A and B are shown apart, each in its own frame.
Chain A
Amino acid sequence: MSASRLSGGCQCGAVRYAIAEPPRVVAICHCRMCQKATGSIVWPYFTVARSAFSMTRGALSHFRSSAMALRGFCSACGTPISFEADGEETLDLGIGTLDHPEPLVPTEQYWVSARMLWFGDMAGLPVAGLGDRLPADEVARRRPFQHPDHDTAAWPDGGAGG
């Protein structure tokens, strides 16, 4: 029995995966390749053995971002999911794709030469838009078609569009 099973997937739920061992590395990467692949300014990721990684629904699409590596994503909704260096026995996965990202606290940062000058200022920015205090009719109007943060027997559930 595995106490350390992690699960995750893309936004739309067409791609789902499971991990059968604790992560070996939990980090953030500032490099321009990770930035552009994820449309963001930093990529939070964790590293696991390929032997501990399995797809539980659908399949990753891949882009060869350099001669040494593939990046996996969902071609139905775009979510960037993996970095897979050729010949490595491990692969990296985006922490944000986990159903429960909070327990995976990054402990290192890479490619600080590409770090945004204002990276350290973000946490102190003024706060706006408390999404959890929207009126009920607005919450209903915004009903997400995002896959829930747990495995599902069937998806879409019949109520979701797309």
Chain B
Amino acid sequence: MSEIRITGGCQCGAVRYALLEQPDNPHICHCRMCQKAFGSFFAPLTGVPPESFKVTRGSLSTFRSSDPVERGFCRDCGTPLTIHTIGSNRISVSIGSLDEPEKIEPTRQYGIEGRLSWFGRLPSLPGDKTTEEESPDETARIAASNHQHPDHDTSEWPPPGMGA
């Protein structure tokens, strides 16, 4: 019998988590709270009941962004990981922190009052060449020394020999 296990974590790998059921309501939120917490234009989120969210390495740090809401992140690298309305039967994770974000396509958008006026123009910005084509040397340099945790669970992290 196959068991659902969808994994993710922060950039440095100090915090890893698993979702034990298929997350629902994948969405993006444009509200100014999500913008600032993510340092971005919007937050892509999907959620599960709290009992289906397990931290499998390290621990979340939290910031109480308002009385009802706690946001979880990694204190070692900053990656925004969770948002939880205290007492609710749901915890959301950031889609970008999932090991396979492409599989979790957003289906709704929230916080439209905060949406930046030019949001819809982003996909058509110039930039058709890949970075591998435009900057092969820099691409290789990053790939050769990437300190980001890989997009799967690891038994030990960081591996011996990798500088902090």
Binding site for B on A (CB under 8 A): 10-12, 27-28, 31-33, 35-44, 61, 63-69, 71, 73-81, 94-97, 101-102, 105-113, 116-132, 141-147, 149, 161-162
Q: Is the CB of A130 within 8 A of B78?
A: no
A156 vs chain B, min Cβ distance (A)? 11
Given the known interface contacts A39-B97, A128-B27, A144-B66, the answer about A65 and B147 at a Cβ–Cβ threshold of 8 Å is yes
B23 within 8 A of A: no
Q: Is the CB of B67 within 8 A of A122?
A: no
Residues of A within 8 A of B39 (CB): 10, 38, 43, 79-81, 94-97
Selected from B33, B71, B107, B123, the residue in CB contact (under 8 A) with A78 is B71
Residues of B within 8 A of A147 (CB): 36
Selected from B78, B97, B108, B132, the residue in CB contact (under 8 A) with A125 is B108
Q: Is the CB of B78 within 8 A of A131?
A: no
Q: Is the CB of B111 within 8 A of A129?
A: yes
Pull 7 A–B residue pairs with CB atoms less than 8 Å apart, ordered by A. A64-B147, A96-B39, A105-B118, A110-B131, A116-B101, A123-B119, A129-B112
B116 within 8 A of A: yes
Residues of A within 8 A of B12 (CB): 63, 65
Interface bracket on B: 35 or more
Since A36-B97, A39-B38, A118-B102 are in contact, a sample of 13 more A-B pairs with Cβ atoms closer than 8 Å, ordered by chain A residue number, is A33-B11, A38-B39, A65-B11, A68-B142, A75-B61, A78-B63, A79-B36, A105-B118, A110-B131, A113-B130, A113-B131, A116-B102, A127-B110
Selected from A43, A76, A96, the residue in CB contact (under 8 A) with B63 is A76
Which residues of B from 1 to 56 have beta carbons under 8 Å from A? 10-12, 27-29, 31-33, 35-44
Q: Is the interface of B mostly helix, strand, loop or mixed?
A: mixed
Given the known interface contacts A33-B146, A74-B78, A101-B35, the answer about A44 and B108 at a Cβ–Cβ threshold of 8 Å is no
Selected from B61, B67, B81, B163, the residue in CB contact (under 8 A) with A64 is B163
Given the known interface contacts A66-B145, A77-B37, the answer about A122 and B28 at a Cβ–Cβ threshold of 8 Å is yes
A-B pairs, 9 with minimum CB distance = A73-B78, A78-B73, A39-B94, A67-B145, A94-B39, A123-B120, A109-B127, A120-B123, A63-B77
For the complex, give the distance between the alpha carbons of A18 and B79 in Å. Answer: 23
Q: Is the CB of A42 within 8 A of B112?
A: no
A59 vs chain B, min Cβ distance (A)? 13
Given the known interface contacts A42-B40, A65-B148, A68-B141, the answer about A36 and B79 at a Cβ–Cβ threshold of 8 Å is yes
